[in-house]
């Protein structure tokens, strides 16, 4: 059974930079998995931030960037703001199956 | 602009079938421009992909749910439906409908979700 792994929790200071990662138990994550990143705040539905590993949606602030890094998908937040405190999920597309990572709780402190 | 909204009974009895609808506005559910997905989130837990349906009619399901789940589209009502049979308490979750333009763009339109509790 394929597993997608994210850091359970990460803490960052306001104004800092942080990178969240998304790994696949099948091996290196590539663009062929169309990595997608979502942000979810309490009581709200997930909001798509990044598609196909590196592309921001029109509504995604420029401080969010996606990449492929060391065999993983990565989401980097630069100049973190208190409003960025949320749960972040990655989603990998394996063709006939999609699998979410367990999520990373980002605390801004 | 495409929008989706989930609806359905908030309470389902164990062993019964959960049936939810996703009402689509801003575009036809039969459009080749979109695919549709269902995702759920148990209380306090992460997201779980349930399955997706594509313009071709092809459906793909989470292997762990495949024997119990069915997703279909109803062009007469412009809705996407989800049916999950033989439910147990483990199926208690908030259920989301989402839409995407392609694998490349991913699922970028989400509904607010609807909460389903399984209890006698």
Tokens of A105: 């709780």
Mean pLDDT, range B86-111, rounded to an integer:
96
Q: Does B108 touch chain A (CB under 8 A)?
A: yes
- The Cα-based distances of B80 to B9, B36, B53 in angstroms read 16, 7, 9
* Separation CA B94–CA B75 (nearest Å): 25
Distance from CA of B103 to the nearest CA of A (A): 7
Q: Is B60 on the interface with A (CB under 8 A)?
A: yes
d(CA A25, CA A90): 14
Return d(Cα A96, Cα B73) in angstroms, integer.
Answer: 18
Predicted confidence (pLDDT) per residue in A72-95, tens digit: 999 999 999 999 999 999 999 999
pLDDT value at B47 more than 90:
yes
Which are the contacts of A69, defined by CB distance < 8 A and separation ≥ 6?
Answer: A19, A21
Determine the pLDDT at residue A102. Answer: 98
| Average pLDDT of chain B, as a whole number | 96
Report chain B residues whose CB lies below 8 A from the CB of A46: 39, 47, 96, 110
CB contact A102 to B (< 8 Å)? yes
Give the other-Cβ count within 10 Å of B54's Cβ.
17
Predicted local distance difference test score (pLDDT) of residue B32: 84
Residues of chain B positioned with their CB less than 8 A from the CB of A103: 46-47
pLDDT of residue A41: 98
Residue A93: how many CA atoms within 13 Å on its side-chain side? 21
Is there a contact between B62 and A97 if contact means CB atoms under 8 Å apart? yes
Interface membership of B112 toward A (CB under 8 Å)? yes
Residues with pLDDT less than 70, chain A: none
A35, A89, B73 from A93: Cα distances, Å = 7, 13, 22
Cβ neighbors of B66 (< 8 A, separation 6 or more) are none
The pLDDT value recorded for residue B42 is 98
Residue B113 near chain A (CB below 8 Å): yes
């Amino acid at each position: 059974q394929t597993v997608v792994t994210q850091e359970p929790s990460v803490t960052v200071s306001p104004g800092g930079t942080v990178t969240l990662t998304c790994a696949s138990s099948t091996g290196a994550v590539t663009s062929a998995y169309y990595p997608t990143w979502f942000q979810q705040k309490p009581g709200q539905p997930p909001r798509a931030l990044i598609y196909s590993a590196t592309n921001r949606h029109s509504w995604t602030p420029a401080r969010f960037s996606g990449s492929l890094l060391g065999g993983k998908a990565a989401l980097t937040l630069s100049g973190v703001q208190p409003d960025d405190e949320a749960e972040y999920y990655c989603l990998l597309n394996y063709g006939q199956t999609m699998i979410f990572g367990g999520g990373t709780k980002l605390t801004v402190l | 602009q495409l929008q989706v909204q989930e609806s359905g009974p908030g309470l389902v009895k164990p062993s019964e079938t959960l049936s939810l609808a996703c009402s689509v506005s801003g575009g036809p559910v039969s459009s080749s421009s979109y695919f549709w997905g269902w995702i759920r989130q148990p209380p306090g837990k992460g997201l779980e992909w349930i399955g997706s349906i594509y313009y071709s009619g092809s459906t793909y399901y989470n292997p762990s749910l495949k024997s119990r789940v069915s997703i279909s589209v109803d062009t007469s009502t412009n809705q996407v439906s989800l049916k999950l049979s033989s439910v147990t308490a483990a199926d208690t979750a908030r259920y989301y409908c989402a839409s995407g333009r392609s694998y490349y763009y991913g699922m970028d339109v989400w509904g607010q979700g609807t909460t389903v509790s399984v209890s006698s």
